[in-house]
Chains A and B, each alone.
Chain A
């Protein structure tokens, strides 16, 4: 595969195989160009395969729209509030009621939440999990909202599409995972950005000499270390194998997987010790306090840095090359967004809100309070972007293939009940890789087989 020439092309590559079957012609390009306020009825008339039920209201909507939000950290929570307020202001008579739930709890209770009495609109992610809920009929079809959405690339639309060809998801922001560092630390000590694993090892040794923990690391919550696994797997085995492994199609006892853990075990001494008692926030603060040199995490880590000079000091590089035949063109950049519940109480309001969320105005408001992510709408004005955001945008654009994240790319039961304990036990005891992989494979067979 060659490098993509446009953003649309790169995003097209992040679509799971299950939705690649969607015909491009169904995109209704003409309709996409039509302004957001043109009636859905008119659109339905010009599209033969309209699937919308009631459509997006053209005029004002009223009543309360409830929003379930997992953005529980202070910074993103304020961001959600700001664009929901803007929506309510633009639609007099409409109020938005935000129910914020702790990020992890929201995620873990999602099945019960969706089968109980969910909010009209709720935060979720693109990827396997979005499609899973669509398949189970737990979320609402918003294809008619998508007819009025402009500025989203083809690929983003496909990433919002489930196996049945309908859209269930509106992207708002995404962000890359990479190796973060402080420019000032690298400058002061004369460090060079490592290009290969050997460079990384050499740099790590130097940092240790200088009294730094080379790689900050915190896995108390179980998921952050999945990111490290993903990075190494993408470098050792490449994107296709990674996706296939996540889908349960490869054996975990394969020597290829063993090589991932062997590589990880090799650089584990560079990681901050005692990671299983440390939250990612604490690990990020050690980077902020210049006690550690690098950190493999998503760009949301910037939330732990104060705005302005400190965030400007933050930079990142892609995880170093491990195998020159694989290269470094596969990255991880999860998409966050919103979905509608299957039976919203205020469907009109919900759809109007989802449409609003797809627009640059809302997305830029989201970024204003949380500049660690980038807008998904291509027409969003990037002049206000920080250096980090501009770099993120370029980084995501230049990648050849993009994974979501382990717990978004595989079955949730496998990720949470098998992989979290497995990776934690690897961190505790990196010696017994064979035993660990045998155990993972046995559990994988049982879960994927059922």
Chain B
């Protein structure tokens, strides 16, 4: 009796529905345009100027590619910054994230005092940045720091450009691992216990169970962890900024952008050029990531 009505496209919707649907499309689009694309395109455009951040937009003068030329040729912190960003990404990816996952697995298995470990590993994520900077200053200070006091050494943890990046990476990993642990722990709690049970009955060892059963099941969480690691590494900034404003061995692209744009310097054009370069690097990584993610599906 109920004859199959043919779908007649948007005409089928009531006026009210049409309004709702169009609002649902237009509003997010505008927000994305306003908050993401406008600033991004603005930065790219500003990177061809020498604006000092003061006065009307009409006072902006174009300087062509000069900013990019200057960055590549006469701006000494640039190449070290690129190198440091790559090191940062590698360490987060190969050390900090696996460490956080390991913590999660251990905590999930119910080591004695689980709650204590869980809290103390997650604590760094909760602490304010100023406090974290202060804590590590107490540990790393050359003359008054904990490490040198205990070991009797004179290593200049924050000042020696060969050492300070690694010192900062330890501090960053300390924070990052806690974050990853929490994410991963949530995933582990969600894995159906019957899967582990079945694996055990089939005679799988602990590590086999994890790598062959639990890990594949947790694919959505793995992807999130991957993305979080990418994002956190590329925008690595805060800790380094607290340490020494990203100078002397701790240059990162993000700190160079901030030094030029936010600081009293106000080289908005020059800083935007650096930001554009950062955008390009991120795009490459995002592109590679998307390719992998798409292929798997």
Contact B53 A278 (CB under 8 A): no
With a CB–CB cut-off of 8 A, which chain B residues contact A5? none
Contact A416 B164 (CB under 8 A): no
Contact B50 A439 (CB under 8 A): no
Task: Tell me the minimal C-beta distance from A69 to chain B in angstroms.
Answer: 17
B142 within 8 A of A: yes
Contact A274 B54 (CB under 8 A): no
Contact A428 B144 (CB under 8 A): no
Task: Tell me the minimal C-beta distance from A127 to chain B in angstroms.
Answer: 13
Contact A115 B260 (CB under 8 A): no
Contact B247 A222 (CB under 8 A): yes
Complex CA distance for A412 and B265, rounded to whole angstroms = 5
Complex CA distance for A110 and B52, rounded to whole angstroms = 13
Instruction: Using known A-B contacts A136-B55, A421-B76, A421-B247, determine if residue A277 contacts B264 with beta carbons closer than 8 Å.
Output: no
A413 within 8 A of B: yes
Contact B158 A220 (CB under 8 A): yes
Chain B interface secondary structure, helix, strand, loop or mixed?
A: loop
Contact B53 A111 (CB under 8 A): yes
Contact A277 B266 (CB under 8 A): no
Instruction: Using known A-B contacts A108-B263, A417-B265, determine if residue A282 contacts B141 with beta carbons closer than 8 Å.
Output: yes
With a CB–CB cut-off of 8 A, which chain B residues contact A273? 154, 156
**Which residues of B, 237-285, contact A by the 8 Å Cβ criterion?**
244-245, 247-248, 259-260, 262-267, 270
- Among the stretches A162-170, A308-316, A396-404, A442-450, the one at the interface with B is A442-450
Complex CA distance for A276 and B159, rounded to whole angstroms = 4
Instruction: Using known A-B contacts A274-B156, A277-B157, A450-B50, determine if residue A286 contacts B143 with beta carbons closer than 8 Å.
Output: yes
Interface size for B (C-beta < 8 A) is 39
A275 within 8 A of B: yes
Contact A277 B63 (CB under 8 A): no
Contact B54 A136 (CB under 8 A): yes
Contact B142 A278 (CB under 8 A): yes
With a CB–CB cut-off of 8 A, which chain B residues contact A136? 54-55
With a CB–CB cut-off of 8 A, which chain B residues contact A416? 259, 263-265
With a CB–CB cut-off of 8 A, which chain B residues contact A417? 259-260, 263, 265, 267, 270
- Taking a contact as CB atoms closer than 8 A, the residue among A115, A222, A421 that contacts B54 in the complex is A115
- Which of A275, A425, A446 has the most B CB atoms < 10 Å from its CB? A446
With a CB–CB cut-off of 8 A, which chain A residues contact B164? 277
With a CB–CB cut-off of 8 A, which chain B residues contact A274? 142, 154, 156, 159-160
**Which residues of A, 408-436, contact B by the 8 Å Cβ criterion?**
412-413, 416-417, 420-422, 424-425, 428
Contact B159 A439 (CB under 8 A): no
Contact A277 B265 (CB under 8 A): no
B161 within 8 A of A: yes
Complex CA distance for A421 and B77, rounded to whole angstroms = 8
**Which residues of A, 247-299, contact B by the 8 Å Cβ criterion?**
273-278, 282, 285-286
With a CB–CB cut-off of 8 A, which chain B residues contact A282? 141-144
A50 within 8 A of B: no
Chain A, Cβ-Cβ closest to B159: A277
- Which of B50, B66, B76 has the most A CB atoms < 10 Å from its CB? B76
Chain A, Cβ-Cβ closest to B77: A421
Instruction: Using known A-B contacts A136-B54, A274-B154, A450-B63, determine if residue A107 contacts B70 with beta carbons closer than 8 Å.
Output: no
With a CB–CB cut-off of 8 A, which chain B residues contact A275? 159
- Taking a contact as CB atoms closer than 8 A, the residue among A108, A413, A446 that contacts B66 in the complex is A446
Chain A, Cβ-Cβ closest to B264: A412
Complex CA distance for A277 and B153, rounded to whole angstroms = 14
Contact A222 B264 (CB under 8 A): no
**Which residues of A, 211-238, contact B by the 8 Å Cβ criterion?**
220-222
B74 within 8 A of A: yes
- Taking a contact as CB atoms closer than 8 A, the residue among A111, A220, A428 that contacts B266 in the complex is A111
Contact A108 B262 (CB under 8 A): yes
Complex CA distance for A186 and B157, rounded to whole angstroms = 32
With a CB–CB cut-off of 8 A, which chain A residues contact B66? 446
Complex CA distance for A422 and B161, rounded to whole angstroms = 14
With a CB–CB cut-off of 8 A, which chain A residues contact B157? 277
With a CB–CB cut-off of 8 A, which chain A residues contact B247? 222, 420-421, 424
Complex CA distance for A70 and B157, rounded to whole angstroms = 29
User: Binary interface profile of A, 100-122, with partner B (CB < 8 Å = 1, else 0)?
Assistant: 00000001111110010000000
A138 within 8 A of B: yes
**Which residues of B, 151-194, contact A by the 8 Å Cβ criterion?**
154, 156-161, 164
With a CB–CB cut-off of 8 A, which chain B residues contact A450? 50, 63
Contact B54 A277 (CB under 8 A): no
B117 within 8 A of A: no
With a CB–CB cut-off of 8 A, which chain A residues contact B52? 413
With a CB–CB cut-off of 8 A, which chain A residues contact B79? none
Chain B interface (Cβ < 8 Å from any Cβ of A): 50, 52-55, 63, 66, 70, 73-77, 140-144, 154, 156-161, 164, 244-245, 247-248, 259-260, 262-267, 270
Chain A interface (Cβ < 8 Å from any Cβ of B): 107-112, 115, 129, 136, 138, 220-222, 273-278, 282, 285-286, 412-413, 416-417, 420-422, 424-425, 428, 439, 442-443, 446-447, 450
A285-B143, A416-B264 provided; 18 other pairs, C-beta below 8 A?
Answer: A107-B264, A108-B262, A111-B264, A111-B266, A112-B53, A115-B54, A273-B156, A274-B159, A276-B244, A276-B248, A277-B158, A278-B142, A417-B270, A421-B77, A442-B73, A443-B70, A447-B267, A450-B50
- 25 A/B residue pairs, CB under 8 Å, sorted by A: A107-B264, A108-B264, A109-B262, A109-B263, A138-B54, A274-B142, A274-B156, A274-B160, A276-B159, A277-B142, A278-B141, A282-B144, A285-B144, A286-B143, A412-B263, A412-B266, A413-B266, A413-B267, A416-B265, A420-B247, A421-B76, A424-B247, A425-B248, A442-B73, A447-B267
